[in-house]
Amino acid sequence: MLKLQSKTGKVKAKQEVVFAYVSDFRNFGHLLPADRLHDIEITGETLRFAVDGLGTVGLRMAEKHPNERVVVKAIEGTAADFTFVIDLTMAEPHVTTVNIYLDVNLNMFLEMMARTPLQQFIDLMVDKLENVPFSAAV
């Protein structure tokens, strides 16, 4: 199992505001590298997209721990079995620390090929989350 942790991000918004944003897939369009994905379908609780070389990926909100954690799991039939967790902690008033943890069940060959792109993906999500204009977003 491949286990990755994003860099730590600091978002200039209250923890509950960031939680409301990341717990609704309709906001994920701003966090995903749209230039690398196609056939994107988004609802509040599910997200599907195609990735060249990997196939279709389907996600669902599996758990929501108010203001602290969102757990996202792969939908049955997705190219890889994975879970990612978005952890939120209050760093200071109006600043939330964000970490993303990704566990992917891949064979060793795919794991070696996917490690760097997946690490870049979760780090990019953190970067984009840090740049969300939360006063206008939620």
4-22 pLDDT tens trace: 999 999 999 999 999 999 9
Q: pTM higher than 0.75 for the full model?
A: yes
Beta bridge partners, 38, equal: 50
Domains, the chain, with CATH or none? 2-137 (3.30.530.20)
Residue 56 pLDDT class (50, 70, 90 cuts): confident
Percent of the chain with pLDDT over 70: 95
Task: Specify the length of the chain in residues.
Answer: 138
Report the C-alpha gap between 127 and 121 in whole angstroms. Answer: 10
pLDDT, position 138: 45
With 70 as the cut, is the pLDDT of residue 93 above it? yes
Residue 122 φ then ψ, to 5°? -70, -30
Max Cα–Cα distance, the chain, nearest Å? 44
Contact 132, 11 (CB under 8 A): yes
DSSP string, 65-77: ETTTEEEEEEPTT
